[in-house]
Every structure is written in structure tokens, then in C-alpha cells.
Chains A and B, each alone.
Chain A
Amino acid sequence: MSRIVLQESRCKGCLLCTTVCPEELLQQSQRLNASGFRVVETNRENGCTGCAFCAEICPDYAITVYRSKKGAKEPAT
């Protein structure tokens, strides 16, 4: 399974990532980071395909994407 790690301190709650996730995994949480932004969170444990669309559009480089090696889909670049 692939997954993303969101660096909450960098997230500004702009939600652009939520518009591009093919699996609609991302939503705004109720939590505020130190800067007072309501950060993004994943709404369920799995489903991430590692496509990295969220990371591509994130203006603040808050998302790192990990893809499992076993038969992982090549990212479309």
C-alpha cells in the first residue's frame, strides 16, 4: 500500500490537494497547526495509490509520498 505523510507545520489549509486526489482521501481536519491553519488529514486508512497528485499541487511542499515496492504503479510524470 502507498501512503502520504503530511507535515502539518507546513500546511496552510488551502485544500488544493483535496481537489486532485483521485481517491478523495483528503479533507480538512478540525485541528489547527501552530500557525492557526486548519490542516488537512486523510479520511481513511488505505486507498492511496501513490499517484502523488496531492504533492504535485501542494504549494507548500507539505506532502511526501511513499509507494510500496511490491508491484507499485509507476507515477505518471
Chain B
Amino acid sequence: MSGQPQADERVAFALPRTMTGASLHFCPGCHHGIIHRLVGECLEKNNLGESTICVGSVGCSVFIYNYIDVDAVEAPHGRAPAVATGVKRARPDRFVFGYQGDGDLAAIGFSEIMHCANRGENVTIVFVNNTVFGMTGGQMAPTTLVGQRTTTSPGGRNMNTDGAPLNMSELIASLEGTAFSARVAVNSIKNIKQGKKALQKAYRAQSGEQGFSFIEFLSACPTNWKMDPLQANEHVGQTLVQRFPLGVFKDIVE
């Protein structure tokens, strides 16, 4: 079957023009690709392609600029919210978003994300939570579930020595500088639609200069969870959501 639309056909679904179309380096079943595309769709829908500055982070998503075709700067590990602050203050007329994993944001970058939100910076942070340090080979992260085995919690995360996982969306929602904070997932069509809505709200928060916007995407990591892609996708909907409930935790966006 040819890859071109026939005379009586039209393309009903294709990659947003804000994306490069390069094939992705992520593992099979990793949700980063889906989340990248939702971001690309949001940029295209609000025609932000020419006015966006992306702040990448250090983790599996460090190559975001290979996939989303906008101006981008690489932030040191954990510091994307601070770099995004500098970018937004330098260019307040640009759409500025950061894209970080849970090791980057909730471990080394915890101070930066909390203060960026607390200052009410008009930036958007996309936070991908897959409960492990992915790129470095599946170590325990601040969002690792109690009992979850990782390469640095071989006996399972121990509450007494490692503490409990951090619920970032709720923490950030408690800050006055935050205009929007929500947690979504992309393991089902229904959740993907919620993800799109959340991104649209975040866009409106930033473009309306109403303060800091934050979207946490629960994400599958088959490789480091030692599951096949379908089990990992299932794990998000069955297990992760128990500890990390989906929903909007703050929304004062007009």
C-alpha cells in the first residue's frame, strides 16, 4: 500500500511540523516518544514553533532537540528550571519550556524546581516520571516506589533508609507561584487526551503570564523495570497511579 494519499484520501494523522521526524533513540515502549510528540503538537497547535526556546536536561531525554525542531539550550543536570528562568528573563516574549526526568528534577534539581515555581516564573516544565534514573542504567530515583527493585535498591526501596517517593505535582501545587500543576499519563488514549489538555492549560498559563506551569507525565521504562513494553504500559495504569494519582492539583488559569 503506497505511503501517499490516494486521490480520495487525506492524511488524518501525521507528525506535527514542529518535529524533525528523526527516528528516536528511546527503548521500545518508552513513553518519552509519545510525550515528545504531545509537546510538538501543543507547539504546532498554538503556532509556537518560531517563538519557542526549549531547555533540555541531562537524562534519556537529553536529545530532545534532535526531535523537536525549536531553538534549544542544554542545561546541566538538575538545573533546567534555573536555565529556563534565565532564558525567560532574557526573552520574556518567548515561549520557554523545560523537559526533565525524575532524577534530574526531583533529586539534584529539587531546589531549582521548587524555587522556580515559588518565584512564579512564567515558564512551563514538562516532568517525565518513570521512577528510575534511566540513562545511567536504572538506579533508584526520588520517585522509586517503596519495594521497587533498582540497580541501587536491589532489595527494593526501603522506607527506613531511602524514604518514600516524592509526589512532585502535589508539592508544586502547594506553592503560590504555581498557576497550574497536574499529573497525567500516556498509557491509554484517554490519558493521552488528558495530557494534551494539560499541555494546553500550561501554554495558556505561560502565554497569559499567570505564573509557573508544571505537568508530570507518568512514563513507562520497560528496560529498567525489566518488563516488556506491554507489561510496563500496564504497570503505569495499575501500579504507578496508586502512588502517583492522576489529576489536576492546581489550576488558577483563566
Do they bind each other? Answer: yes
Interface positions of A (Cβ within 8 A of B): 2-3, 5, 7, 9-10, 12-16, 19-20, 37, 50, 52-53, 55-61, 63-70, 72, 75, 77
> What residues of chain B lie closer than 8 Å to A16, measured between beta carbons?
29, 229-230, 233
**Please, how many angstroms separate the alpha-carbon atoms of A60 and B188 in the complex?**
16
Q: Known: A15-B230, A57-B189. Is A70-B34 also a contact (CB below 8 A)?
A: no
Q: A12 to B15, Cβ gap below 8 A? A: no
In the complex, chain A residues whose CB is within 8 Å of the CB of B31: 59
Q: Does B12 contact A (CB under 8 A)?
A: yes
Closest Cβ–Cβ distance, residue B244 to chain A (whole Å):
20
> Which one, B1-9, B77-85, B93-101, B132-140, is touching chain A?
B1-9
A65-B23 Cα distance, complex, nearest whole Å: 18
Chain B minimum-CB-distance residue to A54: B13
Q: How far is the CB of A64 from chain B (nearest CB, A)?
A: 6
**Chain B residues near A5 (CB-CB < 8 A):** 1-3
Docked-complex contact B189 and A9, CB < 8 angstroms: no
Q: Give the Cβ gap from A10 to chain B, nearest Cβ, in Å.
A: 5
| Interface core residue of A2, A9, A19, A72 (most chain B CB under 10 Å) | A19
Q: List 16 A-B contacts (CB under 8 A).
A: A2-B12, A3-B1, A12-B29, A14-B29, A14-B229, A15-B230, A56-B34, A58-B33, A59-B30, A59-B31, A59-B33, A61-B15, A61-B19, A63-B13, A66-B10, A69-B10
Q: With a CB–CB cut-off of 8 A, which chain A residues contact B201?
A: none
Contact check, B12 vs A59: say whether CB atoms are below 8 A apart.
no
Separation of A11 and B173 alpha carbons in the complex (Å): 38
What bracket does the count of chain B residues touching chain A fall in? 35 or more
By a CB distance below 8 angstroms, the chain A residues around B105 are: none
Give the residue of A3, A15, A61 whose beta carbon is less than 8 angstroms from that of B37.
Answer: A61
A19, A53, A57 — most chain B CB neighbours (10 Å): A57
Q: Which residue of A lies closest to B27 (CB)?
A: A12
Cα(A72)–Cα(B29), bound, Å: 30
CB neighbours (8 Å) of A58 from chain B are: 33-34
Within 8 A of A (CB), among B211-254: 222, 229-230, 233
Q: Top 7 A-B pairs ranked by shortest CB distance? A: A59-B33, A12-B28, A14-B29, A52-B13, A14-B229, A65-B13, A67-B12
The answer for the CA separation of A59 and B37 in the assembled complex, in Å, is: 8
Q: Does B32 contact A (CB under 8 A)?
A: yes
Cα–Cα distance between A75 and B13 once the two chains are bound (Å): 9
Q: In B180-198, which residues have CB < 8 Å from any A CB?
A: 186, 188-189, 192-193, 196
